[in-house]
């Protein structure tokens, strides 16, 4: 924590736009011709979203070492919009150029931006992700799913219970605090991809926290691997970079905008994407129910709704899974008008979906632009899907349907 940072931070260095562009061209060529390109990210990729870093001149640990308060204007990680760097990595993923992402960040912006779950190791956890101590089931939340740590930093209980049938286990956050061991599987995958990498690009990391920092080191020491580092301060691995053009002193956004320009790839604008299952259960004596549940792209339960209201019902459903009763009154079909209320981190307005009782289960794909504050909704029947769509399927469907 603060003890790991110097009292006086090293001065940040900024190269000229021309120097950044020339180095970005070399990096773009390496990305284009690499067979296994990976990226390693630190807090520097999120600073332009308003989230402070740790060891910069105004970093969290630096200020604590100086006994000064953290920046008062810091943006909440829940409200932060993924940066050009985040979105550039999503584009590289979708084009098949980025093979894997290793991150030290807990802010959840990589997953929110559109990096697929199987494409990332969040080595230090995710403040929006918790898991069951008993069955291991994960949950993605649109709120901070972090333990209060009132007694000890090793008590990761969030206060919620697992909702899987027959479980009811205690939920724990995924944050790795100083002195704790990393989760085995993410670290294992990160090391495997570090060994495979023929090019590893470090973005916005001081590379001072082990064992995470050993991942770029693996690539840098490999005979066939090349290492590039973009950070405003020096790092302990600078001596391993593959030539002067691979060591860039710049903001990560400035470098990645230039890299994407040389690759002739447009950086996409951030769109908040959500998936919702709606299931109709017909019961005896007209006791029918409609059940709504948010899901992530890999089927993991995802909490992003505050409430659901069914037209004609007096009370909204406010707990997951959102369950509402309705009557058919002899009708063959009823079109259920469901009003969705979101957490509102991006000032999302309510949106209405209309679900037919003739469809037993349907997946709704929801896209929200924080810039226009508009939702786009696409419906897919589960009978048309072999499995829950991946993120790439989602981006191909688009706003106007398949």
Same domain, 293 and 189: no
pLDDT digits (tens, 9 = 90+) for 46-63: 999 999 854 444 434 333
Same domain, 77 and 208: yes
Residue 124 known to be catalytic: yes
Axis crossing angle, helix 214-221 with helix 184-196, rounded to the nearest 10: 20
Looking at 56-145, list the stretches that DSSP marks H as alpha helix, in order from N- to C-terminal side.
60-65, 84-94, 109-113
Domain count, the chain: 2
Q: Is residue 321 part of a domain?
A: yes
Same domain, 89 and 119: yes
Same domain, 29 and 80: yes
Across the range 378-389, mean pLDDT stands at 57
- Chosen domain end from 212, 238, 262: 262
pLDDT on residue 382:
59
Checking if the pLDDT of 132 tops 50, the result is: yes
* pTM confidence score: 0.88
pLDDT digits (tens, 9 = 90+) for 341-377: 999 999 999 999 999 999 999 999 999 999 999 999 9
pLDDT on residue 198:
97
Q: Is residue 168 part of a domain?
A: no
Checking if the pLDDT of 159 tops 70, the result is: yes
Mean pLDDT lowest among 148-152, 167-171, 197-201, 303-307: 148-152
Q: Give me the domain span that covers residue 292.
A: 272-397
The pLDDT confidence band at residue 387, using thresholds 50, 70 and 90, is very low
Checking if the pLDDT of 322 tops 70, the result is: yes
Same domain, 227 and 373: no
Same domain, 13 and 68: yes
Helices (H) and strands (E) in the chain, counts: 8, 19
Q: Are 342 and 306 in contact (CB under 8 A)?
A: yes
The binding site for Zn(2+) consists of 132, 135, 162, 167
Same domain, 375 and 234: no
Same domain, 253 and 280: no
Checking if the pLDDT of 394 tops 80, the result is: no
Across the range 64-77, mean pLDDT stands at 62
Same domain, 180 and 281: no
Residue with tokens 């509102």: 344
State percent of the chain over pLDDT 70. 87
Same domain, 225 and 113: yes
- Chosen domain end from 262, 282, 298: 262
Tokens, residue 258: 């230039």
Kindly report the CATH number assigned to the domain that includes residue 322: 2.60.40
Catalytic residue among 86, 124, 193, 355: 124
Phi/psi for 64 (5° steps) reads: -65, -40
């Amino acid at each position: 924590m603060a003890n790991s940072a110097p009292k006086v931070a090293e001065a940040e260095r900024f190269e000229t736009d021309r120097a950044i562009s020339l180095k970005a061209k070399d990096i773009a060529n390496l990305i284009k011709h690499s067979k296994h390109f990976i990226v390693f990210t630190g807090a520097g990729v999120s600073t332009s979203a308003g989230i402070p870093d740790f060891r910069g001149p105004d970093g969290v640990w630096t200020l604590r070492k100086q006994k000064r308060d953290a920046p008062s204007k810091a943006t909440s990680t829940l409200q932060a919009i993924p940066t050009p760097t985040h979105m550039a990595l999503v584009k590289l993923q979708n084009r098949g150029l980025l093979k894997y992402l290793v991150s030290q960040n807990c802010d959840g912006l990589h997953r929110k931006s559109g990096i697929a779950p199987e494409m990332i190791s969040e080595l230090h956890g995710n403040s929006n992700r918790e898991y069951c101590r008993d069955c291991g089931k994960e949950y993605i939340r649109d709120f901070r799913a972090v333990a209060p740590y009132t007694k000890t930093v090793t008590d990761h209980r969030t206060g919620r219970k697992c909702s899987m049938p027959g479980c009811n286990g205690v939920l724990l956050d995924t944050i790795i605090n100083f002195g704790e061991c990393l989760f085995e599987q993410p670290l294992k995958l990160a090391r495997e991809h570090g060994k495979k990498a023929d090019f590893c690009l470090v973005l916005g990391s001081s590379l001072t926290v082990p064992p995470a920092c050993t991942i770029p080191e693996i690539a840098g020491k490999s005979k066939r691997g090349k290492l590039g580092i973009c950070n405003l301060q020096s790092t302990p691995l600078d001596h391993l970079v593959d030539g002067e053009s691979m060591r860039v002193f710049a903001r990560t956004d400035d470098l990645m905008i230039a890299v994407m320009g040389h690759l002739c790839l447009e950086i996409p604008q951030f769109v908040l994407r959500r998936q919702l299952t709606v299931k109709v259960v017909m019961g005896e004596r007209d006791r029918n129910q409609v059940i709504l549940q948010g899901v992530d792209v890999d089927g993991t339960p995802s909490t992003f709704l505050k409430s659901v209201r069914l037209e004609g019902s007096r009370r909204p459903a406010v707990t997951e899974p959102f369950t509402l009763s309705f009557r058919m009154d002899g009708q063959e079909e009823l079109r259920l008008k469901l009003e969705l209320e979101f957490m509102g981190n991006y000032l999302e307005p309510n949106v209405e979906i209309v679900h037919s009782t003739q469809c037993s289960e349907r997946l709704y794909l929801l896209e929200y632009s924080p810039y226009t504050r508009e939702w786009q909704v696409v419906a897919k029947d589960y009978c048309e899907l072999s499995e829950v769509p991946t993120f790439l399927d989602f981006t191909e469907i688009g706003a106007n349907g398949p």
